[in-house]
Amino acid sequence: MSARMITLPQPRTQSKVSLEQCLYYRRSERSFEDKELSLEQISQLLWAAQGITDSSFGGRTAPSAGSLYPVSLYVVKKDGVFRYLPDSHRLVEISNEDKRPALLRASLGQSYIREAPVDIIVAANFAITQAKYGNRAFRYVCMEVGHVAENIQLQAVALGLVSVPVGAFWDDVIRTTLNIPDTQDPLYIIPVGYLKK
């Protein structure tokens, strides 16, 4: 049986919220409303993180050393786990189970990871960058992951959403839970949703 593919809505490149406002209002929030995100919102978040902005060479929204793009994004929500495919702006289903409870356990009991309607996992294959840059790869990949995470958080603000970057978790448990290949290291969990008031 082939994996389910979801074509995401086209991202928009204009907003009524300025970059300066996004910077000003961005905060790490850990309290989420029980309200699902639309496919349009998820599309926009993923495009902001790793979307293609120059089809001539595959240039993306976040810079990457040597344009190697070792980063992969995974989306965890109540109806399953999905990997983002930037080249086609689609999601491919990895699981149809709600893995957020397992993410909660793997992240040392940080309850907001379970409460958020969407968790974006940022993973990277260091070997891709290391093949070209050797020992500098660790630095370059970490820089890239930071760019990606900031893009997600600023886009969340522009969409009227909140987020929080999380780095405390058991890497091997995350990898096993989400069926992430052994070649990729999970580096961030970013819960995204509406602020609970």
Q: What is residue 33's predicted lDDT score, i.e. its pLDDT?
A: 96
Q: Which domain holds residue 111?
A: 18-193
Decide if 9 is inside a domain: no
Give the DSSP per-residue string, 115-177: HSSEEEEEEE-HHHHHHHHGGGHHHHHHHHHHHHHHHHHHHHHHTT-EE--B--S-HHHHHHH
| Whether 73 contacts 122, CB under 8 Å | yes
- Chain mean position to CA 142: 14
Decide if 6 is inside a domain: no
Decide if 8 is inside a domain: no
Q: What is residue 40's predicted lDDT score, i.e. its pLDDT?
A: 98
Decide if 78 is inside a domain: yes
| Confidence grade of residue 169 (pLDDT, cut at 50, 70, 90) | very high
One-letter identity of residue 109: G
Decide if 151 is inside a domain: yes
The chain-wide mean pLDDT, for the chain, equals: 96
Q: What is residue 43's predicted lDDT score, i.e. its pLDDT?
A: 98
| Mean pLDDT across 45-52 | 98
Provide the 3-class DSSP secondary structure of residue 60: strand
Decide if 73 is inside a domain: yes
| Mean pLDDT across 57-64 | 95
Of 80, 49, 67, the C-alpha closest to 154 is 49
Q: Examine the pLDDT at 80 and tell me if it is beyond 90.
A: yes
| Mean pLDDT across 68-88 | 97
Count of structural domains, the chain: 1
Provide the 3-class DSSP secondary structure of residue 66: helix
pTM: 0.96
Compute the C-alpha angle 166/135/63, nearest 5°: 55
| Confidence grade of residue 3 (pLDDT, cut at 50, 70, 90) | confident
Q: What is the CATH number of the domain that holds 147?
A: 3.40.109.10
Q: What is residue 1's predicted lDDT score, i.e. its pLDDT?
A: 54
Decide if 83 is inside a domain: yes
Q: What would the pLDDT profile of 112-130 be if each residue is shown by its tens digit? A: 999 999 999 999 999 999 9
Rounded (to 5) percent helix, strand, coil in the chain:
40, 25, 40
Decide if 13 is inside a domain: no
Of 64, 84, 67, the C-alpha closest to 75 is 84
